[in-house]
Amino acid sequence: MTSNGSSMPGGVVAGCNFLSLPRELRDLVYRTLLVSSRPSKSTFGKGSGIHLSILRSCRSVHDEAKETLYGTIHKVTMISGIDRLLYGKISTVVPPICALLQLRHVHLELTFSSVNRGECEVGIVNAGRWKDILLPFGLALLRGRCISSLEIALLNTNQRKVGAKRIRSDQMLAEVRELLLLFAYLPRIVTITIVGFDTLEYAIMFEDLRADCAGAEIPVEDWATKALLL
């Protein structure tokens, strides 16, 4: 309140020092603003429910608030579709690189469509574009070295009911392997789990990849990829 007992426009109280509040109360404010209350929504992008403007208030608040922001489990969804893959439009729910460098816990949902021939899955629709989209995402996590837990949910829009017979071609398995390969280079101290519908064989595949790749140097063949690693 002002000296005459009135409040300033917009409900802001004059002379109130946010940093003078107990840290427990400040953390409550940070959680309210920076932790999404919508578990079905991605953390970043339109409709996420988080408000990042508090990070720009001052350095002290920024340093405190980022502990809440980056220490929370963040959901990232990537959904295949003609508008997002064929024309190179990557969904805005993907965190910016500056955030990926500092995120500690990520739940990544990859919802793709498979090409079916009867009971056989012969490939992933736009598999090459999926790999291109995941490349900067995975490299940022590697470069940031902050990630401690990553859950990858492989969701196939063409999967059938539990118990339905399904044969996956060698091409299908190879394409899933390519999607998971980059994350296999994350060090062993990072907890990585594969979940989703009928993903046991993918989980086994990924464990084999980690046994060969975890902590190793990523083979890079082009300067664009090398630049992302610097």
Sites in the chain below the pLDDT cut of 50: 1-15, 82-90
* Domain end call among 9, 41, 71: 71
Q: Give CA–CA dist 219/213, Å, rounded.
A: 10
Q: Is residue 10 included in any domain, yes or no?
A: no
Q: Give CA–CA dist 197/126, Å, rounded.
A: 20
Which ranges in 72-169 belong to alpha helices (H)? 97-100, 127-144
Give the closest residue to 23 by CA, choosing from 63, 73, 52, 50. 63
Q: Are residues 81 and 185 in the same domain?
A: yes
pLDDT of residue 223: 56
Q: Are residues 80 and 143 in the same domain?
A: yes
Q: Which domain holds residue 93?
A: 72-229
Q: Are residues 59 and 105 in the same domain?
A: no
Q: Is residue 52 included in any domain, yes or no?
A: yes
Count of domains in the chain? 2
Longest CA pairwise span in the chain (Å): 78
Q: Are residues 115 and 223 in the same domain?
A: yes
Q: Are residues 34 and 81 in the same domain?
A: no
Q: Are residues 176 and 133 in the same domain?
A: yes
pLDDT of residue 4: 45
pLDDT of residue 230: 55
Q: Are residues 52 and 65 in the same domain?
A: yes
Contacts of 142 (CB under 8 A, 6+ apart): 182, 185, 186, 218, 229
| Residue 22 structure tokens | 């107990």
pLDDT of residue 183: 93
Q: Are residues 129 and 216 in the same domain?
A: yes
* Domain end call among 56, 71, 86: 71
Q: Give CA–CA dist 51/22, Å, rounded.
A: 21
In sequence order, what are the beta bridge partners of 110?
78, 154
* Domain end call among 71, 87, 111: 71
Q: Is residue 7 included in any domain, yes or no?
A: no
Q: Is residue 9 included in any domain, yes or no?
A: no
Under a CB-based contact definition with an 8 Å cutoff, are residues 107 and 73 in contact? yes
Q: Are residues 185 and 203 in the same domain?
A: yes
Contacts of 100 (CB under 8 A, 6+ apart): 137, 140, 141, 144
Length of the chain: 230
Q: Are residues 50 and 98 in the same domain?
A: no
Contacts of 195 (CB under 8 A, 6+ apart): 151, 152, 153, 154
Q: Is residue 1 included in any domain, yes or no?
A: no
Q: Is residue 137 included in any domain, yes or no?
A: yes
Q: Is residue 2 included in any domain, yes or no?
A: no
Q: Give CA–CA dist 101/139, Å, rounded.
A: 9
Q: Give CA–CA dist 185/139, Å, rounded.
A: 9
Q: Is residue 3 included in any domain, yes or no?
A: no
Q: Are residues 218 and 134 in the same domain?
A: yes
